[in-house]
Amino acid sequence: MRVKDGVLKYGFVGPALIFLIAFNIFPLFYNIYLSFTDAELSGGVTQLIGGRNYGVIFDDTRYGTALRTTGLFVVLAVATELILGFALALALQKPFWGKPAITTILLVPMMLSPAVMGLYWNFILNGHYGVVNQALSVFRLFQPQWLTDPDLKLFSILMIDIWMWTPFMMLIALAGLNAIPNHLYEAAAIDRASRWTVFRRITLPLCSPLLFLAILLRTTDALKQFDLVMAVTGPNDRATQTLSALLYQVMFRGYKIGLGSSYSIVILLIVIALATIFIRYIASIQAKQGRETA
């Protein structure tokens, strides 16, 4: 079988690899080069200007604000989604009538387009005719201006993100719960362990590897938050300007792609670090699976 393998195997893997290098490795390095130039989106003469772009970062208050906004968003979104998703998974752990249908329906929001649903949420959260405020008015409650109050805009985007991505945490947490062998629970029942002890000593520790995986995936994704910001407030709103939104504003509205590239290096470094952790983690899980099956 291994006679003509030499040519054949590269025929199989080659095209995909060439594609990925052209669209990922090349842009990555070209981006680093651009960050040392004064390149503009409109073209024209581009000059190397050394590290001047990186100097500008520290003068630009937008950058620090965007970092803080992104950090706040990531922490709040991932934490809330994790807690809600895990609670849902616990509620869905045992079989009951209608469980498959309910689980599937709950998963739908995470498959939808954030940009499109973001626009539609403008309608739901509208301060005058939005259905949320109308519901609040029925109960004579205070009706916040979700989309125009600078203190609330980021919170509104956060709510939409939680609506979309809690099912993701639920899905992975459910897989973790399903993988816990039943005999552990039976043993705990014989020992008359309290519910809290069972949760703390069996459920949580055995679920945590998968929860960690889910947190990593969601964090890298939330760090890139762009679609919802664009659909709810646009890229140039100080209250909601995440790093990706700032990049868009600098590069595609201000046409400063050299400067934008230097701004993007920091987010790239964070994402690459997280991706590396994720990949190491996957590798360790696979090694473990390999040992178990061997």
Partner 1 sequence: MKYLRWLVIIPYFCLATLPLCWLFLTSLKTQEAAISPTASLIPSTAENTAPGSLSFSATLDAYRKLATPHTGKAHAFFHYLFNSVIIGLLSTLTSVVLGTGCAYGFSRFRIAGARDWLFFILSTRFLPPLAVVVPVLMMYRVFNLPNTHLGLILLYTAFNLSLAVWLMKGFIDEIPRAYEEAALVDGYSPLQAFYKIILPHSATGMAVTAVFCLISAWNEYGFALALNNAEAVTVPVYFAGLQGNIQGIPWPKIAAGVLIFVVPIAIFTVLVRNHLLRGVTFGTIKQ
Alpha-carbon torsion 142, 143, 148, 151, what sign?
A: positive
Among positions 128, 140, 192, 291, the unique one binding partner 1 when judged by CB under 8 A? 128
Per CB under 8 A, the segment of 47-55, 56-64, 149-157, 283-291 that binds partner 1 is 283-291
The phi, psi pair for 256, rounded to 5°, reads: -90, 85
Under rule CB under 8 A, residue 102 binds partner 1: yes
- Cα separation, 281 vs 270, in Å, equals 17
Among positions 56, 226, 239, 254, the unique one binding partner 1 when judged by CB under 8 A? 226
Under rule CB under 8 A, residue 92 binds partner 1: yes
Rounded to the nearest 5 degrees, what angle is found at the Cα of 90, between the Cα atoms of 86 and 96?
140
- Cα separation, 186 vs 189, in Å, equals 5
Q: How far is the CB of 276 from partner 1 (least distance, A)?
A: 8
Residue 285: which H helix or E strand, with range?
A: helix 257-293
From the number of C-beta atoms within 10 Å of its C-beta (0-12, 13-18, 19+), residue 163 rates as middle
Q: How far is the CB of 143 from partner 1 (least distance, A)?
A: 11
If the CB atoms of residues 94 and 140 are measured against partner 1, the closer one turns out to be 94
Among positions 72, 75, 79, 131, the unique one binding partner 1 when judged by CB under 8 A? 131
> Count residues contacting partner 1 (CB under 8 A)?
104
Among positions 51, 68, 72, 123, the unique one binding partner 1 when judged by CB under 8 A? 123
Q: Residues 184-223 vs partner 1: string with x where CB under 8 A?
A: --------------------------x--x---x--x--x
Under rule CB under 8 A, residue 67 binds partner 1: no
Nearest to 259 by CA among 31, 53, 62: 53
- Cα separation, 146 vs 132, in Å, equals 10
Binding positions for partner 1, 163-182, rule CB under 8 A:
163, 166-168, 171-172, 175, 178
Nearest to 99 by CA among 86, 83, 87, 88: 88
